[in-house]
Structure 1
Amino acid sequence: MDTTKIIQPTEKKAWYRNMPDPMVLIFMILVATYLLTFVVPAGVFERVTVDGKISVVPGSFNYLTDVPSVHFFDIFVAIPKGLISAAPYLFIVFIAGGLFHILQRTGALENAIGVAVNKAGVKNRNLIITISTFIYGFFGVAVGFENNIALVPVAVLISAAVGYSSLVGTVMAVGGIGIGFALSPINPYTVGVAQGIAELPTFSGAWLRAVMVITSLALLSYYICTRVTKMEYSESGSNQALSKDLSEYQLGKKDKLTLGVFLAGLGVMLYGVFANNWYINEIAGLFLLMAIIIGAVNGLTANGIVKQMMEGASGVTAGALVIGVAASIQIILDQAQIIDTIVNALSSLIQDMPIAISAIVASVVQGIINLFVPSGSGQAMVTMPILIPVADLIGMSRQLMITAFQVGDGLTNLIVPTSGGTLAMLALGRVSYEQWLKAILPFMVFVYALCWVALFIGHLVGY
């Protein structure tokens, strides 16, 4: 008898398909950041305050000699500090989780989506995904990034209605919002701040950014329909799928009243964002008020509302905690005072290159800096006073440098673990950071290539 064993060849998986647990991955980055403090010397730029905004003084970088050392134990101390610093993100995830748990229990949102998809026809699900992706992209363009956190569960329900997993809905929402925000022609947080520093008309040069955002959203829609819908994914929550057949859905009076409260709340949010500069805390407070009103409309007692809120919050706890742990990376960088050193070194890379290539490299540099300075407006304040004079020195237009900055800063928000807004959205979509990277990384290769071609053409046409 032949006892020779037949060894089956093991399937070689792409590197991004073997990611560790998100907590493990972020802790590894935290340890690597700690080790970086022994290699990168501390340094600072001088800063000035103009019209209430703090900007870096170009050419003012100096190394520091008297900086407190970062100890091994500080790695672990940084985690609770990160949780504290990221508290607004954690709380909006908990509150939004509670709000949508109540909405799901009322059935109003599910009924509305079921009726809408039934009328559109589930056979047109690729069209539904494409339209939804562009709608989320519009919100990213016009409203912002973190301001749209609460809309992610709606996409998950739309995805379920057309027979797909919550991963498809999350990529549709987070990807659409992220691309819209990253390449927005009218982004006040990045383009507005950067053009103010560069003394350019606000939102000038919008045509190239408009071409990039429309093309990228079309690419994302195609990628979702052809790739993400076929990915294996295990649902992480029993409430992600629709509860009945599409033909059984209808909207009652209480459903319409509940949806009216929800849509009115979103309208108030948009007004607050544009008219009163609302941000995370104000939006979280509004979500809490919406949850109370929706609960009361549906006959819940005070105790019932609290119970439903707690159940919803508990379902997103793991995702919320990832946000806080990721924030600990920034704590170590600030303590070691090496952010300015990294910015200074990276900025010097583009000075001796052909202009078109410099624009592409500048976007890569900004993407790396975004890992250390995750705020778009904050990054503009730190890097633009340095890179605008560099652009003038090498003959690159200021407009092209700003667009390169926007591409580098915005797109990396979709993949870096220090982007609190992205992690908050993933928590509400019940998709882990690990699963998100597996789904989105192949797309990022294509969208970066598209934007780099746009930057190259932009230089050729005198943008």
Structure 2
Amino acid sequence: MKPQDPALPRRAKWYRTVPDPMVLIFLILVATYVLTFFIPAGEFERVARDGRTAVVPGSFHYLSDIAAIPPFDIFVAVPKGLIAASQYLFIVFIAGGLFHILQRSGALENAIGVAVHKVGVERRNLIITVGTFIYGFFGVAVGFENNIALVPIAVLIASAIGCSSLVGTTMAVGGIGVGFALSPINPYTVGVAQGIAELPTFSGAWLRTLMVVASLGLLSLYICKWVVKMDFTEPDDSKAMSQSLDAYRLSRRDALTLLVFIGGLAAMLVGVFTAGWYINEIAGMFLLLAILIGAINGLSANGIVKQMMEGAASVTPGALVIGVAASIQVILQQAQIIDTIVHALSGLIQDIPPVFSAIMASVVQGVINLFVPSGSGQALVTMPILIPVADLVDMSRQLMITAFQVGDGLTNLIVPTSGGTLAMLALGRVSYEKWLKAILPFMVLVYGLSWVGLIIGHLTGY
């Protein structure tokens, strides 16, 4: 073999070459389209109960009058996906504008610089651990998508302690994701699933509490020992700390800016818990905060609009990835194969030893989460089927719900159909490809830890 000229750039190994995230997700879209020719259409019967649509167990049947999807619909699915994911796109654009104004004001950077200087940058691991648990608490108590706008704060904290934006994004997205996935008080998954299983709301919280605390501890250790050492190239326009830590001071204007920002977040939480606020209302609050913070810092109306546009432009690539990923769901719904997949996967849990049934259930739920990315939607589709399965295989209903949580929640961190995750990555300025490289080893570890928890639950009669 002729040796390569040392003057020429080395070609990367084929297995080390990862496509652009947009290309990667489009390839998944094409693969999903191909699956529609091999998976027959089918559906469960559904009934309305207490204002919710529930699946009727044992009602699955195949559909014979579903026409094949034309190849051109692959491309039509992309704009349809953009429309379907519009609420995620808008909150990314608006949050990007808000944090651009907040960044330009200097208030947030000054506050983080002062705080980190007082704690000491040499206590980096302590700052990462505390930050991870704080973001985990938000995931436990507030939810997943509701915390989208908090990601840039973690990126600034990471910059203050000399780490990359990947560290900050992992701290925020990982903490929120793990907290949401294993939350003992998650109304979207635990609340809905326990209602279907006829169990007291949020009962059996002790095992989930132990699992979430242990998993957040594992995530903190993983970031400190692995992610901080990863080779990560910052975006060209990344927002790092602009001066040394001992030079930061908080002015009265900074204090007022932060007071308005924190007050807006508090009002958002009140709206989430008392008025059912979700993505659109939260985006509206961020828009109001952008206007108020801009005015406090002396921006004219034109100046506020200009900075909002600059902030939105900086997150456009990540926002568009969300829309392309949503097109996968469009094809699945058009082909009507989601119920067929759920029906086939649910059958895998039967006829295996009870101690492994919960582990298999978590794997099945993780696969289903790719096709049904909504936690409450997945509970409504799968729990009426899997709760009777749990009774048949001598698994407690409580353990089946925890297995559902593990599979549904943790895979939110990696599936391309999770709009909330892609929105957070867009604000953290981390590509989907770089994110997968960083988080996949942790997924192996946290799944192993969660499976140990499920086995303990089975052995203790949970």
Question: Normalising by structure 2, what TM-score?
Answer: 0.97
Counterparts of 1:29-428 in structure 2, within 5 Å, are 29-428=28-427
Residues in 2 aligned to 1:325 and 1:365: alpha-carbon distance in whole angstroms: 25
Q: Label 1:296 to 1:454 Cα distance change in 2 as closer, same or farther (>3 A).
A: same
Task: Give the residue type in structure 2 aligned to 1:391.
Answer: A
Q: Quick check: 2:238–2:429 contact (8 Å CA) kept in 1?
A: no
Residues in 1 aligned to 2:362 and 2:148: alpha-carbon distance in whole angstroms: 26
Residues in 2 aligned to 1:401 and 1:420: alpha-carbon distance in whole angstroms: 26
Residues in 1 aligned to 2:311 and 2:237: alpha-carbon distance in whole angstroms: 13
Residues in 2 aligned to 1:229 and 1:4: alpha-carbon distance in whole angstroms: 39
Q: Label 1:353 to 1:288 Cα distance change in 2 as closer, same or farther (>3 A).
A: same
- How many residue pairs get aligned? The number is 459
Q: Label 1:312 to 1:6 Cα distance change in 2 as closer, same or farther (>3 A).
A: closer
State percent identity of aligned pairs. Answer: 75
| Deviation of 1:14 (Å) | 11
Task: Give the residue type in structure 2 aligned to 1:121.
Answer: G
Partner SS state of residue 389, structure 2: helix
| Deviation of 1:33 (Å) | 0.5
**Deviation digits for residues 321-362 of structure 1, max 9, x if unmatched?**
000000000000000000000000000111101111111010
Task: Give the residue type in structure 2 aligned to 1:370.
Answer: N
Task: Give the residue type in structure 2 aligned to 1:394.
Answer: V
Task: Give the residue type in structure 2 aligned to 1:377.
Answer: S
Residues in 2 aligned to 1:14 and 1:122: alpha-carbon distance in whole angstroms: 40
Residues in 2 aligned to 1:78 and 1:25: alpha-carbon distance in whole angstroms: 16
Task: Give the residue type in structure 1 aligned to 2:50.
Answer: D
Q: Quick check: 2:182–2:208 contact (8 Å CA) kept in 1?
A: yes
Residues in 2 aligned to 1:298 and 1:6: alpha-carbon distance in whole angstroms: 58
Q: Quick check: 1:54–1:381 contact (8 Å CA) kept in 2?
A: yes
Task: Give the residue type in structure 1 aligned to 2:247.
Answer: E
| Deviation of 1:146 (Å) | 0.2
Gaps of 5+ in 2: none
Residues in 2 aligned to 1:237 and 1:216: alpha-carbon distance in whole angstroms: 33
Task: Give the residue type in structure 2 aligned to 1:134.
Answer: F
Q: Label 1:453 to 1:244 Cα distance change in 2 as closer, same or farther (>3 A).
A: same
Residues in 2 aligned to 1:186 and 1:282: alpha-carbon distance in whole angstroms: 22
Q: Quick check: 1:149–1:421 contact (8 Å CA) kept in 2?
A: yes
Q: Quick check: 2:117–2:246 contact (8 Å CA) kept in 1?
A: yes
Q: Label 1:158 to 1:385 Cα distance change in 2 as closer, same or farther (>3 A).
A: same
Q: Label 1:347 to 1:248 Cα distance change in 2 as closer, same or farther (>3 A).
A: same
| Deviation of 1:238 (Å) | 3.0
Question: Normalising by structure 1, what TM-score?
Answer: 0.97
| Deviation of 1:5 (Å) | 5.0
Q: Quick check: 2:53–2:380 contact (8 Å CA) kept in 1?
A: yes
Task: Give the residue type in structure 1 aligned to 2:406.
Answer: V
Residues in 2 aligned to 1:237 and 1:206: alpha-carbon distance in whole angstroms: 45
| Deviation of 1:4 (Å) | 8.8
Residues in 2 aligned to 1:310 and 1:157: alpha-carbon distance in whole angstroms: 21
Task: Give the residue type in structure 1 aligned to 2:21.
Answer: P
Q: Quick check: 1:237–1:430 contact (8 Å CA) kept in 2?
A: no
**Deviation digits for residues 161-196 of structure 1, max 9, x if unmatched?**
000110000000000000000000100000000000
| Deviation of 1:453 (Å) | 1.0
Task: Give the residue type in structure 2 aligned to 1:220.
Answer: L
Task: Give the residue type in structure 2 aligned to 1:203.
Answer: F
**Deviation digits for residues 195-219 of structure 1, max 9, x if unmatched?**
0000000011111111110001001
Residues in 2 aligned to 1:302 and 1:27: alpha-carbon distance in whole angstroms: 39
Q: Label 1:28 to 1:245 Cα distance change in 2 as closer, same or farther (>3 A).
A: same
Gaps of 5+ in 1: none
Residues in 1 aligned to 2:170 and 2:140: alpha-carbon distance in whole angstroms: 17
Task: Give the residue type in structure 2 aligned to 1:249.
Answer: Y
| Deviation of 1:19 (Å) | 2.5
| Deviation of 1:6 (Å) | 8.8
**Deviation digits for residues 91-150 of structure 1, max 9, x if unmatched?**
000000000000000000000000000000000011000000000000000000000000
Residues in 1 aligned to 2:282 and 2:442: alpha-carbon distance in whole angstroms: 31
| Deviation of 1:239 (Å) | 3.9
Residues in 1 aligned to 2:219 and 2:18: alpha-carbon distance in whole angstroms: 23
Q: Label 1:400 to 1:41 Cα distance change in 2 as closer, same or farther (>3 A).
A: same
Partner SS state of residue 427, structure 2: helix
Residues in 1 aligned to 2:276 and 2:234: alpha-carbon distance in whole angstroms: 36
Task: Give the residue type in structure 1 aligned to 2:100.
Answer: H
| Deviation of 1:18 (Å) | 3.7
Residues in 1 aligned to 2:100 and 2:318: alpha-carbon distance in whole angstroms: 16
Residues in 2 aligned to 1:193 and 1:71: alpha-carbon distance in whole angstroms: 37
